[in-house]
Amino acid sequence: MLENRGRLNKKGKPSYDLAVNPEEAEWVKFIFDKTVKEGYGSFRIANYLNQQGLKTHNDSKFQCNTIIRILRNRLYCGYMVSGETVSPQLKDLQIIDERLFQQAQFILDEREKKNDENRNIAYQTKSCALLSGIMYCAHCGAKLTSIMHTDRRKRKDGSLYEFTRVKYLCYHKSRGLCECSGQCSYLAYKVDEAVVGTIEKMFASIKDSPDEKELKKQFSKDMQSYKAKQTKLKLDLYKLEKQHEKLENEIVKTLTGESAFTPEQLSKVIAGVESQIVEQQEKLDTLDNEMTEKKASMESIKPLYDNFKNWADEFDDSTMEQKKNDHCTARG
């Protein structure tokens, strides 16, 4: 929105500045959060906003393309874009952080893919089956769909009873589209429980992993070891350089007959020392590179470590939709 901050233009008239509308900002955050964290589609979000009685700036109902334009708009990250020209980031206009924006772009790009086999996210997250839309048959490679299946059982007294359960169905197998050697259907709760159990074990191991203090402590030990090696290599290199200097001075003495060595003898020794100097310098350079890589690795691991810790803490309390969409967030 435009805001009057008391500035005047050259003609003495009020000059308006772009500013964030707090109420609209909350809805923009809602759109990004629902897309990235729970896998909501543009139709579902638009329908929800319309049910809340919200209108666009044109006083129209929200449509799918309206939601997509919002998700694609870098203005919400604080950038003014005009064609190929992008302004420096304007922090006062930023509503969405860069990482969340990039995750949303990944999801939109994946949804635009026409070939389901190339899509790396669930087509939708409304299903009560955890792996609906993201699981494939290991036998024929076809995507498994989720269905509500009604089973009928006969009691001992001869009466029939029905119960409905969610199942994963191999579409190709069920339609006879290929020679699939696997099952036609799988009970969703059994598959989901096995997957969730594996994830929980993985997260449990993450929670039990060394905390930040332990990581820094280990990093400090590694650095101390590197510096000790570095000090020794530099000292050895210094001794070799001094030795080389003495040998060159000895060459001068051979010209005046003051040396007990011949020039040929000294040349061989000098060549050997020079070879050792080159070898020692290479070791020192390699060690310096290792130290640099170790520091860079530590800096890159820290945010990933924090993310994994957060996922481990949040997984148990996540909704089904959030759990289904977790892998999208990680990829994005």
Find the range with the poorest average confidence among 30-44, 154-168, 212-226, 261-275.
212-226
Confidence class of residue 111 from pLDDT cuts 50, 70 and 90?
A: confident
The DSSP line for 233-301 is: HHHHHHHHHHHHHHHHHHHHHHHHT--SS-HHHHHHHHHHHHHHHHHHHHHHHHHHHHHHHHHHHHHHH
* Cβ-Cβ contacts under 8 Å for 3 (sequence gap 6 or more): 16, 17, 18, 19
pLDDT digits (tens, 9 = 90+) for 76-98: 999 988 888 888 988 888 899 99
pTM metric for this prediction: 0.45
Is the pLDDT assigned to residue 191 strictly greater than 70? yes
- The more confidently predicted of residues 92 and 71 is 71
**pLDDT value of position 331:** 44
Residue 4 has pLDDT above 60, yes or no: no
Provide the pLDDT for residue 120.
Answer: 54
Residue 203: pLDDT band with limits 50, 70, 90: confident
The pLDDT value recorded for residue 48 is 92
The pLDDT of residue 119 is above 60: no
Residue-wise pLDDT for 44-53, tens only, equals: 899 999 999 9
The structure tokens 């510096």 sit at 227
Using the predicted structure, report yes or no on whether residue 3 has a pLDDT greater than 70: no
Residue 73: pLDDT band (50, 70, 90) is very high
- pLDDT tens-place string over residues 17-34: 677 888 899 999 999 999
* 260 has pLDDT over 60: yes
User: Residues 182-210: what's their mean pLDDT?
Assistant: 79
Q: Return the higher-pLDDT residue of 155 and 62.
A: 62
Least confident range from 108-117, 222-231, 309-318: namely 309-318
Contact status, residue 111 vs residue 129, Cβ threshold 8 Å: no
pLDDT score of 53 = 92
Using a CB cutoff of 8 Å and minimum separation of 24, what contacts does 98-105 make? Answer: 100/32, 100/33, 100/36, 101/32, 101/74, 101/76, 101/77, 102/332, 103/36, 103/328, 103/329, 103/332, 104/32, 104/35, 104/36, 104/71, 104/332, 105/71, 105/72, 105/332
